[in-house]
Amino acid sequence: MIEKKWLVIVPGILAVISITFVVTLFLVKILWAWTIPDLFPGAVQQGLITKEISWLAAFKIAIFIGVLSGLFKCKGQKEE
User: How many Å separate Cα 29 from the centre of its chain?
Assistant: 9
Determine if the pTM surpasses 0.85: no
Number of domains in the chain: 1
pLDDT at 80 (0 to 100): 53
Q: What is the span of the domain harbouring residue 63?
A: 4-76
Cα(41)–Cα(49) distance, integer angstroms:
9
Q: What is the pLDDT of residues 13-47, one digit of tens each?
A: 999 999 999 999 999 999 999 999 999 999 999 99
Contact 53, 26 (CB under 8 A): no
**pLDDT mean over 47-70:** 92
> What pLDDT band is residue 49 in, cutting at 50, 70 and 90?
very high
Does the structure show a pLDDT above 90 at 9? Answer: no
